[in-house]
Structure 1
Amino acid sequence: MRAAVHSLSLLLFLLAFSFFASRDIDPSRGSLKSVGHEQQFTKEVATKDEGREGPDLERWYFKQWHYPYDNVLPPDMTQRMWEEVQQTPSENDFAPASTNSWVSLGPFGMDVPGNAKYSGRILDIEVDNGVSTRLAAASGGLWGFVLIFPVDLTPNLSSLAIGTFDSDPTNEQIIFAGTGEPGQRGGTGLWRTTNRGGAWANVPLAPEPSAFYRVRFNPGSATIIHAVANTGYYRSTNSGTTWTRYLTGNATDLAINPTNPNIMYTSLYTVGLYKTTDGGTTWSPLTAGGIPTADVGRVGLTLCVASPNTVYASIGKNSDNSMLGVYKTTNAGTSWSNVSPGVNFLGNQGWYDNVIGVSPVDANNVLAGGVSLQRSTNGGTTWTQINDVNVHADHHAITWNSTGTSVWVGNDGGMSFSADAGATWSTTNNLVPITQYVNIDVDPNTNLVYGGGSQDNGISMTVNDGSSWDHILGGDGSGVAMDVSTAPADANRLWVTNGYYNGNWAFQRLRTTDNGSNWTSINSGIDPSAQWYHKIRSDRSAPVYLYNNSGPDVYESRDYGATWFKLSTTPFPVEVSNMNISIYTSPRGIIYAALNSSTLGERLRVYDGGAWNERSTGLPAGLTVRGVTPHPTSNTKAYALMNGLSAGSKIYKTTDRGVTWTNISGNIPNVPIGDIIAHPTNDNLLYLGTETGCFRTTNGGASWHRWNNGMPQATIVTEMKWIDSLASVGRFYIVAGTYGRGMYKREVSGDDPTSVSDLANLPRQYSLSQNYPNPFNPATKIRFALPVTDNVELKVFDITGREVATVVNERLEAGPHEFGFDASRLASGTYLYRLKTEHYTDVKKMLLIK
């Protein structure tokens, strides 16, 4: 019957072909060709619609999630959340031990047409530390590299929002990291590690900042450290043990004179530039010589090492965040000249992306980054905008090496690198898995195909279980729905919502039939709407019915998106913020529409029996519904998730399509809830994603425990999908989309503990120890620890990266392990040994002396 209805819909669509008209689409989202009634997009990299997407979308998204709080939670609240999470039992506290862990699917760089790679937003970059490039990701943690392999330095930190960091210039294992991204996400303060991220300790500041712009050691000093944050300028003179605030206000950058570190420059929002000549104890405002003092917003600062009296300041307007100007001094701030580019490169995002960096050896070679990246080779007399697919929009960090030959730029697409002082660019090593996914979907038939819509990086997709990823559509990605048909002609078909566009729809509906090489705009029947981040869902039954929430309506399509019709003649009182569909039962599944309202009587509508019904009775008052997740195999069961931070009011279950609800929040910490998956055959098993990692219950929600083996606890989980292979191979998979760590997958068979364990001696985390003895001749021992059973590879490389030995290549049980390594046949020198599992990688050095 359903196939017949679908065929009739296609016939009606073909008869109506000539009646549909093309609509205008923002050309910054791809080149448009009118083909009949449809709109064909060629696959191109989108450019920014300045000030109307990106950071504003992100702030809006998290404000909705945190309701009634703002997108930036205060430090005491984020720290309290973390403490509650840590007090919740872990999966490792139960027996039998979990046999499976989360596995990162990447993207380890998504391939972009034009031989580029994108990943996610990078806020700070460090080079010349003697070990490797290090990167701070906006919501993905702090990363280093061993050879070409990215290494997570913050798997156990309470916040993965790393605003800035710096390594001790005398000991690279000591790192200070300031958490929180100004204006976007609150952190949990300043942190310190003395073992390259093996353990972190909180460093108290008073008052405690919610976000940091810069943390910097004095050049060559291990004792003097500076921090500029949203609460002012701080300094420590005892290696970070204690700190004093010397300047109050929203301090946005710091430039230090390396030849005389007592001379520094900073800036305060709404006030302007400041200078100190006594190492930061006293600061004087710079108000003369032509530097602006009115309408000053965020300021980026840079100083030339070879010419330390030359300072550049990129100044945004406080009033509208556009460019106030780029100013330059060659006499340490006595006088300033306006050397601004001829274009407003900040757009109206100067509060978000405003950075400037001058070559350490050439005061005339300077890069200025905002929405676009500008370059001058004559001290600002003229500027050239860099238009290169390897240079993503929205820039946050510019770091030069000491010789001025190479420069790294951190932007919303990850890390761009130039080996010729900014003339040409590459993203070959942009491999860190830090994509910020909002929505994801999976192909339930293959266990190989996943796709997602992400902040700043559009739509990306893998067809080989994460081995490689393609960036298939630019802009800001939102909803994704994959076809479930097993027919070869349909295997490459998917639907997305994507923005930001001018015209009738801020976020449009698009379809591809070739895995994203070409796109068709499918908005016929949809009323104009300025709504952001709306969803597109399928009912997972072939041929698929599609559903989309837009404005105050829910739409259905039975012809693969060619035409849409409303499921109600009367709009809801407010817009629909989320929507989900149960398994198909004729004539359609049960539809749950969460409304963007906390008002009684207009929070949750359920389409059941051909009509919409308000079914929020039993849900906590005063909160908005984040969404309702239907059970995988039952159309009567579903789970409602509540937004905000209201203790004990998180998760609710219905067995009658929302007529009644039962609270199953149990002992879940008071954290924002992301998504939930129910096991298809055992209602006691539920899997939950939150803004602080994942949780699981084995008793239907009476009690919950942390479920994060293989995934950092502070991972922000936004959406989860399931792949049911129980009938074929006896396995059930969960795929988690995260905001800052890409996608993860976990197979749940064998992961159901039954009692409290006495496994206190098992390792709680992965670790690789220093070999002993070291130096050695010719034999040494290598120890490591596994918290779970895992596939283990332990290899040895020479200093050039050439593999010289394989010590281990097998599956090992959880626990401590020790293996011997005999280097009798090797020459004296430094060697690297690398431990690599499905969930962990670490590398250490050892010295062979014969």
Structure 2
Amino acid sequence: MYKFFLFLISFSFLTVTTVSAQLSAPEVAGVYGGRVNAIEIIPLDSSSIRIFVSTESANSLFYQDVDFSSPDGPTGEPFVALPDANEDDNLGGNIRLLSADWNSGTLFFINEGTLYSISTAEGSRVEVAQGVSGVRAYDGYLFYLTNEPGLTLHFGAVDSSDGSFTEDGDSPLSVSTESVQNPNGLPIYINPVNGRVYLAWMGLSEPANIYKSSAPYDSLDKSTTFDALPTTGLGSYSYGSFGMGPDGRFFAGTTAGEEPNHSKFIAWTDDDGATWDTLSTGIGGGASGTITCGTDPTDYPVYFGSAYSTSKGADGTWKSIGWQGFETHPNDGPAGVVATVPGMVVFTTDMGVGASMDFGASIFEINDGLEAVQIADFDMTHDKNDAWVASKSGIRRVTNYASADEEWQVYFPMGDGSPYYSVAVDKENPDTAFAGNIRVYRTFDGGANWEQVFRMEDFWNTDFDFFSYISDIDVHPDSGRFVVWGVNSPSSGVRGAVFYSFDYGNTYHRVDTDVYNTEVTRLTVVPVDADSFTVFVACDYVSDGTTSSYGVKTIGFRFSDESAHFSNDMIGESGGDITNFGANDIKVNEFGDVVVAGYNSSEQPRVYGKQADSTAWVMFSTAGFPENGRSSAVSWGYDAYDNQVPYVAVNNTLYALDSTYAKWNEVYTYPTGNQVNVLYWDDLLVGTGTGLYEQYLSPTGIKDLAKAPGSFELLPNYPNPFNPSTQIVFRLGVNSLVELTVYDVLGRRVQTLVHEARPAGLHRVSFNAEKLAAGVYFYRLKARPVNGGHAFVDTRRMLLLK
């Protein structure tokens, strides 16, 4: 039996017997977190809250309930995807405006211009309106914006029992004669002091556009008008971030300076724009789309991306949101304040979602169940025991893969929380790995320590810009000292590049590509003999009038003189260059046959192959493919009877080429909205927009994955927070070898509570922290079934108060 790692597809030149086999249903490989777009928090009752988040993945919306009824502190279950907004509902990963009705618990959100209402119940999603650009639920009312043409405000009541919306008879109202668009949506605010409705968006000729209603939100009628507030006091900056304080103070934010030396700039008015106060926060980074405030009108914190003010935004009160060594740090996304729990704030972080119980002075991750990690790249050692994964939320390493000792770890090299696009491992030494985002990092000790070996910033004034990134990295399969990385520059007229090193990245050189552009998508190193080897370079299709990039380039290298010889030509059967082709992925089998998957200028899927003893590339049949779509990933694989065949991912479907090379057959279709980014064969690992998944191939159809039983569980400790003792409870599905360990925030082992065989069932262990300092601690359960199978590993947090 085989498992298939899905990231790309490859193609085989062997003649095989046609077999119609199927893959098992995908199962998550324990990778949680993801990029979060929006946060909304509502009280469920006097002692519990619900956290809604939207993610940049096919699992569009999640929720988590947190209970505060215990005097020992909050407890919460893992995040759960909303049944009507998960990966099979085709809502995508661009939901950026959420607003919930506190009375009914109904969540309103905008997706591709359509306003929906939804609850946690299956079948609850309802379309409310189309052409919507902003939404706010407030005090039993719903407000939303459309362009009809001209900016228009709709309003009405929300039923407190079922969340249904009834538009008011005086709705809609004209706000502006001009239509207004904003990539992140248009915010709507209700001033808690005067009750007026405020609308704001980035200005073109003005620093910002801010409008105020003439009547309170609960008294709007056909006579209501909207007036523009003065913005001349904002100066010369253009503002795109806005917020409203509990005392009616209106905030506007932007970014001052040029990347990478940019910082957050804030402004506010207490008199509807007659006067503005402005200041630089002194905190680096970009501007978040929202500014969130605390709830006490006498004095309150202000949250602006990764920065916060301890007192109403005033000068001298701005700080960076705190984070600890065991945690990732907050990014410049939105924040959510818990109105019923003073001091509790929820943030977006590099890893997913974080929370603070002290107004932002320190945070901890709450990503359990957030199945939204966007996998970009994957690499594995020759023995298939160790692998590294690049994602938009960190670098992940798995050791002892598919064994009872399987274990996952998350890394942010040198604290760098930028999205990661590429990763490569020394195939003989799993502790040596390289990771790339806009920099290249290297570790020689399995991720414990990282070094920066390349910085894109050093080239911004020459060939690259702020948007250029390290699109792929590869290591010579037989000599880990050779590493090569590629650059992709999506901006018009900006070039890509290939860099290489013969000494693990200590020194590097750029490949001379003459006038040709290499907008790199994938790289693969193929040995020719003991001295020479070839690097195949898959390139995007780019033709912007300034530069062009296409197809597959080849670079010949030699160890003996460390030389590099570049060739731009991708020769077709007729002897001419293949230029109408953008390559997304490329793989080589053990016979030296190459397969590359991509698309043409009409966005139609294309797959080419080249045999080891040939210089000509042959386009394979497109029969069986959809008319439009990019072939995103390719891999050599096997059918159910061990025949080697090529697999290709087009959109959300996996295809295999039949033995006659005449047609592609569907093997597995993922839920609509999933993008397959990586395919890796031995086990089939599938890297998608929601996470990393394992699948098995079976000649008879679906079979169960050999993984830890679902009845394994590590439960929240109780009480939490605690002083000085707490109870830790875990459930074992089968008899297992158990290790239960406590760590501090720096990852140091504090105490091993259990290290022995335990029978199946529920187990309770007491932990006494009388001799420990107050703070955040972590308890980790590792359970290996005694009869074999995957190990169950889980970690939870607990807070010791003294």
Please state which band the TM-score falls in when normalised by the shorter chain.
0.5 to 0.7
Q: 1:151 aligns with which of 80, 102, 108?
A: 80
Which residue matches 2:35? 120
Give the C-alpha shift of residue 806 in structure 1: 9.6
Give the C-alpha shift of residue 151 in structure 1: 0.8
Paired with 1:433 and 1:137, the residues of 2 have a C-alpha distance of 9
**Distance verdict in 2 for CA 1:316–1:560, change over 3 Å:** closer
Paired with 2:307 and 2:357, the residues of 1 have a C-alpha distance of 16
Paired with 1:497 and 1:569, the residues of 2 have a C-alpha distance of 21
- Is the aligned partner of 1:432 residue 2:364? no
Q: Deviations over 1:216-263 (max 9, x none)?
A: 223234xx2435899956535374588968443135322124577653
State which drifts further: 511-520 or 400-409. 400-409
**Distance verdict in 2 for CA 1:553–1:652, change over 3 Å:** same
**Equivalent residues in 2 for 1:458-607, closer than 5 Å:** 458-463=394-399, 467-473=407-413, 474-475=415-416, 476=418, 477-485=420-428, 490-499=429-438, 507-508=439-440, 510-522=441-453, 530=464, 532-541=469-478, 545-549=482-486, 554=498, 557=501, 559-562=503-506, 571=514, 573-581=516-524, 584-587=527-530, 588=532, 590-596=534-540, 598=542, 603-607=551-555
Paired with 1:794 and 1:450, the residues of 2 have a C-alpha distance of 24
**Distance verdict in 2 for CA 1:794–1:535, change over 3 Å:** closer
Which residue matches 1:101? 25
Which residue matches 2:673? 714
Secondary structure class of the residue paired with 1:340: strand
**Distance verdict in 2 for CA 1:805–1:315, change over 3 Å:** closer
Paired with 1:459 and 1:794, the residues of 2 have a C-alpha distance of 26
Q: 1:357 aligns with which of 288, 292, 304?
A: 292
**Distance verdict in 2 for CA 1:273–1:313, change over 3 Å:** same
- Is the aligned partner of 1:299 residue 2:241? yes
Which residue identity lines up with residue 178 of structure 1 in the other structure?
A: I
Paired with 2:649 and 2:582, the residues of 1 have a C-alpha distance of 16
Which residue matches 2:188? 254
Paired with 2:538 and 2:181, the residues of 1 have a C-alpha distance of 38
**Distance verdict in 2 for CA 1:121–1:464, change over 3 Å:** farther
Give the C-alpha shift of residue 696 in structure 1: 2.8
Q: Deviations over 1:534-563 (max 9, x none)?
A: 422134346675333367765555554455
Contact kept in structure 2, 1:366 and 1:377, CA below 8 Å: yes
Which residue matches 2:687? 737
Give the C-alpha shift of residue 793 in structure 1: 4.6
Which residue matches 1:650? 606
Instruction: Give the unaligned 5+ runs of structure 1.
Output: 1-94, 110-118, 180-186, 500-506, 725-732, 754-785, 811-837, 839-850
Which residue identity lines up with residue 605 of structure 1 in the other structure?
A: K
Q: Deviations over 1:772-818 (max 9, x none)?
A: xxxxxxxxxxxxxx9999965599999999999999999xxxxxxxx
Which residue identity lines up with residue 386 of structure 1 in the other structure?
A: S
Contact kept in structure 1, 2:598 and 2:606, CA below 8 Å: yes
- Is the aligned partner of 1:165 residue 2:98? yes
Q: TM-score, normalised by structure 1?
A: 0.62
Contact kept in structure 2, 1:436 and 1:738, CA below 8 Å: yes
**Distance verdict in 2 for CA 1:464–1:323, change over 3 Å:** same
Which residue matches 1:29? none
**Distance verdict in 2 for CA 1:543–1:400, change over 3 Å:** closer
Q: 2:249 aligns with which of 285, 295, 310?
A: 310
Q: TM-score, normalised by structure 2?
A: 0.65
Paired with 1:787 and 1:246, the residues of 2 have a C-alpha distance of 58
Contact kept in structure 2, 1:100 and 1:789, CA below 8 Å: no
Paired with 1:215 and 1:749, the residues of 2 have a C-alpha distance of 48
Which residue identity lines up with residue 470 of structure 2 in the other structure?
A: Y
**Distance verdict in 2 for CA 1:189–1:720, change over 3 Å:** farther
Give the C-alpha shift of residue 381 in structure 1: 4.7
Which residue matches 1:831? none
* Percent identity over paired residues: 14
Give the C-alpha shift of residue 302 in structure 1: 1.8
Which residue matches 2:229? 287
- Is the aligned partner of 1:328 residue 2:246? no
**Equivalent residues in 2 for 1:362-441, closer than 5 Å:** 362-370=297-305, 372-377=306-311, 380-389=314-323, 391-428=329-366, 432-441=370-379
Give the C-alpha shift of residue 143 in structure 1: 0.9
Contact kept in structure 1, 2:390 and 2:423, CA below 8 Å: yes
Contact kept in structure 2, 1:219 and 1:261, CA below 8 Å: no
Paired with 1:194 and 1:685, the residues of 2 have a C-alpha distance of 45
How many pairs were matched up?
622
Q: Deviations over 1:441-495 (max 9, x none)?
A: 2334244x3323344x55333336575422141433332111221xxxx331112
Paired with 1:438 and 1:577, the residues of 2 have a C-alpha distance of 14
Give the C-alpha shift of residue 301 in structure 1: 1.4
Secondary structure class of the residue paired with 1:421: coil
Which residue matches 1:42? none
Paired with 1:233 and 1:704, the residues of 2 have a C-alpha distance of 50
The structure whose residues are more often helix, as a share, is 1
Paired with 1:661 and 1:708, the residues of 2 have a C-alpha distance of 27
- Is the aligned partner of 1:190 residue 2:110? no
Q: 1:269 aligns with which of 188, 195, 203?
A: 203
- Is the aligned partner of 1:615 residue 2:570? yes
Which residue matches 1:702? 663
Q: 1:205 aligns with which of 130, 139, 154?
A: 130
Considering Cα pairs closer than 8 Å and 6+ residues apart, tell me whether 1 or 2 has the greater RCO: 2
Secondary structure class of the residue paired with 2:379: strand
Secondary structure class of the residue paired with 1:132: strand
Q: Deviations over 1:404-430 (max 9, x none)?
A: 442222344432322233344333557
**Distance verdict in 2 for CA 1:403–1:393, change over 3 Å:** closer
Secondary structure class of the residue paired with 2:296: coil
Which residue identity lines up with residue 218 of structure 1 in the other structure?
A: Y
Contact kept in structure 2, 1:523 and 1:563, CA below 8 Å: no
Paired with 2:578 and 2:482, the residues of 1 have a C-alpha distance of 33
Secondary structure class of the residue paired with 2:252: strand
Q: Deviations over 1:571-597 (max 9, x none)?
A: 461134134326544255553223455
Give the C-alpha shift of residue 401 in structure 1: 2.2
**Distance verdict in 2 for CA 1:357–1:627, change over 3 Å:** closer
Which residue identity lines up with residue 141 of structure 1 in the other structure?
A: S
Contact kept in structure 2, 1:373 and 1:395, CA below 8 Å: no
**Distance verdict in 2 for CA 1:170–1:438, change over 3 Å:** same
Which residue matches 1:729? none
Secondary structure class of the residue paired with 2:97: strand
Contact kept in structure 2, 1:798 and 1:804, CA below 8 Å: yes
Give the C-alpha shift of residue 398 in structure 1: 3.3
Give the C-alpha shift of residue 274 in structure 1: 0.9
Contact kept in structure 1, 2:189 and 2:243, CA below 8 Å: yes
Which residue identity lines up with residue 340 of structure 2 in the other structure?
A: S
Q: Deviations over 1:627-676 (max 9, x none)?
A: 342243331231231277x3544333444666132244433362344212
Give the C-alpha shift of residue 373 in structure 1: 0.6
**Distance verdict in 2 for CA 1:379–1:342, change over 3 Å:** closer
Contact kept in structure 1, 2:187 and 2:242, CA below 8 Å: yes
Give the C-alpha shift of residue 142 in structure 1: 1.1
Secondary structure class of the residue paired with 1:720: strand
Which residue matches 2:616? 659
Instruction: Give the unaligned 5+ runs of structure 2.
Output: 1-18, 66-75, 158-163, 488-494, 558-564, 720-726, 736-789, 791-802
